[in-house]
Amino acid sequence: LRCPVPIVVTVHDVSYMEHPEYFAKGRALQLRLSTRKTLREATRIITESEFSRQRISHWFGIDPDEIRVTPLAAEDHFRPVNREMAMQRVTERLKFAGPYVLSVGDWHPRKNQIGLIRAFRELLEAYPKLPHKLVLAGKRTWFAPRVMDQIRRSGLEERIVLTGFVDDDILPHLYNAADVFVFPSFYEGFGLPALEAMACGRPVVCSDLTALPEVVDGAALLFDPNSVKEQMRAIADILIDKELFRRMEKKSLQRAAFFNWNETARQTLDVYREVA
């Protein structure tokens, strides 16, 4: 509440300003008030994307020049490995096997797991010979009953794998063994899971909203997350078109190479040095 030295604050996104309906009652208000007060005191603000920079400026009336963008990066252990070995590790640790479509993220309205489950059902209806499972990796939250209800409604309980939270010991293998990574989020200040999947060389399909087009920059197939059919079509294109599959694998690795934690650290330190 009070700090005698100049403050540098990192703001990841302002989803609580733009979509308060995504948050539990009172949480969005608390975030709005505490963030506004902190930003009023801050000498510099750090965020992770140009998208977030513009939205912070818009909502809090801050000069964009006072907001510095320091993009995130994937940790070094997110890299391509032998896919058969990766699948073996996944089977040993998480107790499932077979080809699968992967999504990673805590269960939350803005992560759009419900839309993905609907798209997966339409995918199997359109291509009944596809053997794939849908794997949802992420911590269950207060939103879990809604997701579980949608799984029951889909009638695909046996084709949907729920891993719960997955730590970094097995997560790179989970990415590597997937045929395609899907990130259908309605709102991201950056979208680190998409970058982690690309760093593992996996084809990515993701939402065309907020910071995600900026992060993937042409290295993923984009879809409108409000459209189940668009999402289904993007997933199907990757799974069925082998030439497209291989092309997107290469694009993923090329794009991921642009992000580096050392550079992120250098840029962040530069901001603190400037303020000091």
Dump the DSSP string for 3-69: -SS-EEEE----HHHH-GGGS-TTHHHHHHHHHHHHHHHEEEEEES-HHHHHHHHHHHT--GGGEEE
Region 197-217 average pLDDT: 98
d(CA 162, CA 266): 38
Q: Which structure tokens are listed for 31? A: 């975030």
User: What's the pLDDT at 165?
Assistant: 96
d(CA 202, CA 246): 9
d(CA 177, CA 101): 9
User: What's the pLDDT at 24?
Assistant: 78
User: What's the pLDDT at 83?
Assistant: 96
Residue with tokens 């975030």: 31
Non-local (6+) Cβ contacts of 202 within 8 A are 102, 175, 176, 178, 179, 180, 181, 249, 252
Q: How confident is the model at residue 3 (pLDDT cuts 50, 70, 90)?
A: confident
pLDDT at 1 > cutoff 80: no
User: What's the pLDDT at 132?
Assistant: 98
d(CA 191, CA 254): 17
User: What's the pLDDT at 25?
Assistant: 78
Query: Strands across the sheet with 160-164, in order?
Result: 160-164, 133-137, 100-104, 180-183, 204-207, 221-223
pLDDT at 23 > cutoff 90: no
pLDDT, tens digit, for every residue of 217-230? 999 999 999 999 99
Q: Which structure tokens are listed for 151? A: 């799984």
pLDDT, tens digit, for every residue of 138-166? 999 999 999 999 999 999 999 999 999 99
pLDDT at 2 > cutoff 80: no
Residue percentage of the chain with pLDDT more than 90: 93
Helical ranges in the chain per DSSP H: 15-18, 27-41, 50-60, 83-94, 113-126, 144-154, 171-177, 192-199, 212-216, 228-240, 242-256, 261-275
pLDDT, tens digit, for every residue of 42-81? 999 999 999 999 999 999 999 998 899 999 999 999 999 9
